[in-house]
Amino acid sequence: MNRTTTPIVLIVALALPLAAAGQESKRAPSTPAERKRVVEITHRLEKEPFGKGANDDRVWLMKWIDEVPDVTIRYCPGPLYDLVEGDVPDKALWVQSLFGMASLAIEKPAEAKDWVKAQVAGLQSALAAYQSAVKANPKAKLPAFERLLAKQKAGQLEEVVRQEMPACDPSYEENGPLPSDAI
C-alpha cells in the first residue's frame, strides 16, 4: 500500500457522493458487465481488503455507486460510522459496507428493498473484509468490529441494525425522531 497516495485516494472516493449531492445523474443505467464487476470487486475486497489494486477498486466502486441511476443504497449512521473519522484502513473497512449493500441490490434486488437486510448485508461485507485484514495482521483488531463479530456469531446483526440505525427505517421520517435524537 502506497502510504502517500492511499489517504488521498480514499478521501477522494469518500468525497465523491458529497460532491455530487443534489445533482441529477447524467449517465445511462448500469450495464450487466458493470453489475458483475461490482459483485466481483466486492467479494475480492472481502478476501483481500488491502491487496494489489484494492484502492483503485474502491475508487471505481464509490464513483459507480454515486453515478449509476438504477442501483441505489441508503447508508445511515450506525455502528461503523465512527470509522469515517479514523485511520485510512478503518475508512476502507467502513466503505466496504456500502459495497456490500450495492452487491445485495444487484444479486437480490427484492431482498435489498428491506432496509434491515440491506444494512445487514453491508455489515456482513465489512465484517468479512475486517476478518481478512485481521488474519493478515492480528494487531489490526478494532473494538467496533469485534463487538459486531460477537453479535454476528450470536445471530443478532438484525437486532443491531434495528436498534442502532433507526434513521435508515423508511418510516423514521414519517414517525418523527426518536426521543434519544433530542438529546
How do residues 66-85 score in pLDDT, each as one tens digit?
A: 999 999 998 888 888 777 66
| pLDDT interval class at 111 (50, 70, 90) | very high
How much is the average pLDDT of 107-134? 96
Query: Taking the mean position of all CA atoms in its chain, how far away is CA 16?
Result: 14
Residues 6+ apart with CB under 8 A from 176: none
CB 45 within 8 A of CB 54: yes
In the Cβ-directed half-sphere of 142, how many Cα atoms lie within 13 Å? 22
In the structure grid, which three cell numbers stand for residue 97, read together?
459496507
User: From CA 129, how far away is CA 92, in angstroms rounded?
Assistant: 9
| Phi-psi region at 3: left, alpha or beta (left = phi > 0; alpha = psi -120 to 50) | alpha
Apex 143 CA angle, 142 and 146, nearest 5: 90
CB 149 within 8 A of CB 129: no
Write down the pLDDT at residue 140: 87
Other beta carbons less than 10 A from residue 13's beta carbon:
22
Determine the 3-state secondary structure of 4 from DSSP.
Answer: coil
